[in-house]
Chain A
Amino acid sequence: MKAALTPDRYVPAAILLFLLVLPWLLPNPFYVHIIVMMAVFVILGGAWNIISGYAGQLSLGHAAFFGTGAYVSTLLVNAYGLSPWVTMWLGGVAALLLSLPMGLICFRLQGPYFTIATIGLAEALRLLVLHFREITNGAQGLTVPFRGSAPWHLQFDSKLPYYYIALAMAICVLLLTRRMEQSRLGHYLVAIGQNQDAAEALGIDSAGAKRRALMLSAFLTGMAGVFYAQYTYVIHPDGAFGLGLSIQIALVAIVGGVGTILGPAIGAVILELFIQSTQIIFADQYPGLELMVYGGLLVGVILWRPRGVFSWFHRVYQALVARLPSPGRAGS
């Protein structure tokens, strides 16, 4: 018996196929760069969404985990010649370890303490990296030694392989989020995000659940940091640990829709398109205007769509699926 070819099966398959051929349709590498960055922000927004979306613990310092992954990996690559395929895991683990004391200290309390601590952590790391110049090369940052086309060292002479790696990582994050959402932990995070006292009264170990969510979130963010360092060949403290990055990670999920699987993916595409296109349009004549337009977009989203744009997309998608034919069923 063959499975029916229903729209809810072939539409996602078509989207996946589209994503696979997309870079071949784009006229030049700059556009491929944009979709690589989109995929990176899908990973980052998706990771952020686990602790800040589902569990409602607002982080404005995810750059701490991103930068830790990027720096740990690049230092290891430079010092020991390790393959980034290995350091990617080590960078993720380093970010996870960094999250442990955060979780232990902050999740005993309710209120804004966690948010403040995340900002402080990222800022403290940025200053430490600036200070320990002998190791980190200070404000100049670190570079990944260029090896040409070396797949084992995660270096390619075309942007295409980077795109497929980032796409695979992004899809993994989304699948992981879906799995988590359906698990006991996922339910518990939602309960904690809605009312922590009520969750505790029902036997939910809120501090423990939040710690686990933060560990997972930090690990994925650290891995994304490693990929980014390899992709751009250079990292510096202001970029990797900066508040701007932390805020952009948060905005990707907020614009898309917090606490939903696909929200960060939609948010990443919208924000990246917006940032890049306004830069192209305004950068020559009116430098700085793109930031004002960007700010306007954020105000608009928070005023009119505080839950993100996901629900719109969801409705459109449902309507589409309902209207499309199902060839498999028509015959039976």
Chain B
Amino acid sequence: MTQGNVVLDIEGLSKRFGGVQAVLDLSFQVRAGEILGVIGPNGSGKTTMFHLVTGFHRPDRGHVRFFGREITGLAPHRVCALGLCRTFQVAKPFPEITVHRNVLMGALLHHPDPDAAATRAEEVLRRVGLDGRAQMAAGSLTTIDQRRLEVARALATEPKLLLLDETMAGLNPTEVGEAIRLISGLREQGLTVVVVEHVMRAVMSLSDRIVVLDQGTKIAEGNPQEIASDPRVIQAYLGKEYQRA
């Protein structure tokens, strides 16, 4: 994998909620064309980091730059309009309208004409394998299909960088395999992707590089082999006493 230009530059990001320091002085970069995995134990700040980058929370300190442009504190819709789109850990479909219309909402961003957006939405649904469910109400989808829908809606906004928040949580092993194929397919189409993920198998096989968070800070960064053998990572996940085992 060739290392491209810096797409996303996170520098010194910090956020405190009351007495909890959710993210502390976090810095890393995402390069064009790569899949960057972000892992860490529960509560290590992964989702907060997504919220800070996409404008759902405003950081206390630090900077977020997207293609060199300062986007710190921009409203979520403006971040998305610039080409940085995210999915949610807990799927947030528009439950009472059809799957197709859900995706159309994303497509309208760059295709203001609803007819053009509808055509675009059909293409995206085929791409993620949801075309058979296009006319179902989004609220009645199964877990895997709701995740597909999250990805489909995000893709419909034609992002340059896609942030996927625990897309595979709760999926069975077969479905994880499908999700891995889908995401690596996105990279082949030229998309840069950041995946926050708990499913180790998925992170290890998908990611070009991995950033490990613990208690809101970065404790390791490297390719999957380096991360798997990093003593700090093993300690963060399994505790100190397992370190020498």
Give the interface of A toward B (CB within 8 A): 182-184, 187-188, 190-191, 194-195, 197-206
Contact A202–B157 (Cβ < 8 Å):
yes
Closest to A190 in B: B97
A147 to B201, CA, bound (A): 84
Interface centre among A182, A194, A203 (most CB of B within 10 A): A203
Contacts of A182 in B (CB 8 A): 114
Give the interface of B toward A (CB within 8 A): 54, 56, 75-78, 80-81, 85-88, 92-97, 101, 104-106, 108-109, 112-114, 117, 153-154, 156-157
Contacts of A197 in B (CB 8 A): 56, 76, 88, 92
Main secondary structure of the interface of A (DSSP, over half): helix
A188 to B101, CA, bound (A): 11
Within the complex, the shortest CB–CB distance from A161 to chain B, in Å, comes to: 38
Contacts of A194 in B (CB 8 A): 94-97
Contact B114–A201 (Cβ < 8 Å):
no
Given contacts A200-B76, A203-B106, contact A195 B93 (CB under 8 A): yes
Contact partner of A202 (CB less than 8 A), chosen from B80, B95, B113, is: B80
Contact A201–B85 (Cβ < 8 Å):
yes
A-B contact pairs, 26 of them (CB 8 A): A184-B114, A187-B108, A188-B105, A188-B108, A190-B97, A191-B105, A194-B94, A194-B96, A197-B56, A198-B88, A198-B92, A198-B94, A199-B94, A199-B105, A200-B76, A201-B54, A201-B77, A201-B85, A201-B92, A202-B77, A202-B80, A202-B156, A203-B80, A203-B81, A204-B108, A205-B77
Given contacts A198-B88, A201-B76, A201-B85, contact A184 B112 (CB under 8 A): yes
Closest to B159 in A: A203
Contacts of A203 in B (CB 8 A): 77, 80-81, 85, 106, 109, 157
Contacts of B154 in A (CB 8 A): 201-202
Given contacts A194-B94, A206-B77, contact A201 B105 (CB under 8 A): no
Give the tally of cross-chain contacts (CB within 8 A): 80
Closest to B108 in A: A184
Closest to A202 in B: B106
Within the complex, the shortest CB–CB distance from B111 to chain A, in Å, comes to: 9
Within the complex, the shortest CB–CB distance from A57 to chain B, in Å, comes to: 16
Contact B88–A201 (Cβ < 8 Å):
yes
Closest to B112 in A: A184
Contacts of B104 in A (CB 8 A): 187
A50 to B104, CA, bound (A): 20
Contact B80–A201 (Cβ < 8 Å):
yes
Contact B101–A187 (Cβ < 8 Å):
yes
Within the complex, the shortest CB–CB distance from B193 to chain A, in Å, comes to: 16
Contacts of A198 in B (CB 8 A): 88, 92-94, 153
A135 to B200, CA, bound (A): 73
Within the complex, the shortest CB–CB distance from A157 to chain B, in Å, comes to: 47
Within the complex, the shortest CB–CB distance from B167 to chain A, in Å, comes to: 14
Contact A195–B94 (Cβ < 8 Å):
yes
Contacts of A201 in B (CB 8 A): 54, 56, 76-77, 80, 85-88, 92, 154
Closest to A197 in B: B92
Closest to B86 in A: A201
